[in-house]
Each structure stands twice: as structure tokens, then as C-alpha cells.
């Protein structure tokens, strides 16, 4: 597959429950994707239950975050990265 990036508007897909971008060329997730995350302590109330990103050259967040802790762990790292950029 040849997807290189996800659009910033992905964060507007409030009803999205599953997202699979396996075997593509995505290097970074847009910060807006955090809007899809269901993580009450962080203030996100999305509906995303499954996010598969295997076999992508992800560096933001790193693909190893998905492999070692699933997408919740990866989204936590992405959130930290976004916060650091905003400083």
C-alpha cells in the first residue's frame, strides 16, 4: 500500500471505531487523531477501539510503542510529543 500520511481531518471522524493502516508508509500521525482516542483521564472522549499500524515506518509515535503497549500507549506518547511542541 502507498498511504504516506493521514489527513488532519481524521480527528473529525467522531464515530470512527476501527482504523487499520497496516503495511503502508505512514511516518507520523497527525495530532488531531488524539480526538478519536477514548481516554477520560486525558480528556479525550473518542470512540476508537482498535488502531492497527503494523509495518509502517512510524516515528511519531514510534512503531515500537504500538508493538509493546498497543495503541493506548502509542497515543500517550503522541500526546506527550504534541504537548512538548506547544511549549
pLDDT band, residue 75 (cuts 50/70/90): very high
Q: How do residues 22-73 score in pLDDT, each as one tens digit?
A: 999 999 999 999 999 998 788 899 999 999 999 999 999 999 999 998 999 9
The pLDDT assigned to 56 comes to 96
Query: Which of 53, 51, 50 is closest to 1 using CA atoms?
Result: 53
Give the whole-angstrom CA distance, residue 40 versus residue 28: 24
Decide: 47 and 38 in contact? Cβ < 8 Å: yes
Amino acid at each position: 500500500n502507498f498511504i504516506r500520511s493521514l489527513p488532519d481531518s481524521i480527528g473529525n471522524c467522531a464515530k470512527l471505531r476501527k482504523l487499520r493502516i497496516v503495511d503502508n508508509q505512514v511516518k507520523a500521525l497527525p495530532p488531531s487523531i488524539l480526538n478519536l482516542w477514548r481516554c477520560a483521564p486525558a480528556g479525550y472522549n473518542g470512540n476508537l477501539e482498535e488502531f492497527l499500524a503494523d509495518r509502517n515506518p512510524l516515528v511519531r509515535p514510534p512503531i515500537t510503542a504500538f508493538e509493546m503497549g498497543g495503541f493506548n500507549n502509542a497515543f500517550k506518547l503522541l500526546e506527550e510529543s504534541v504537548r512538548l511542541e506547544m511549549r
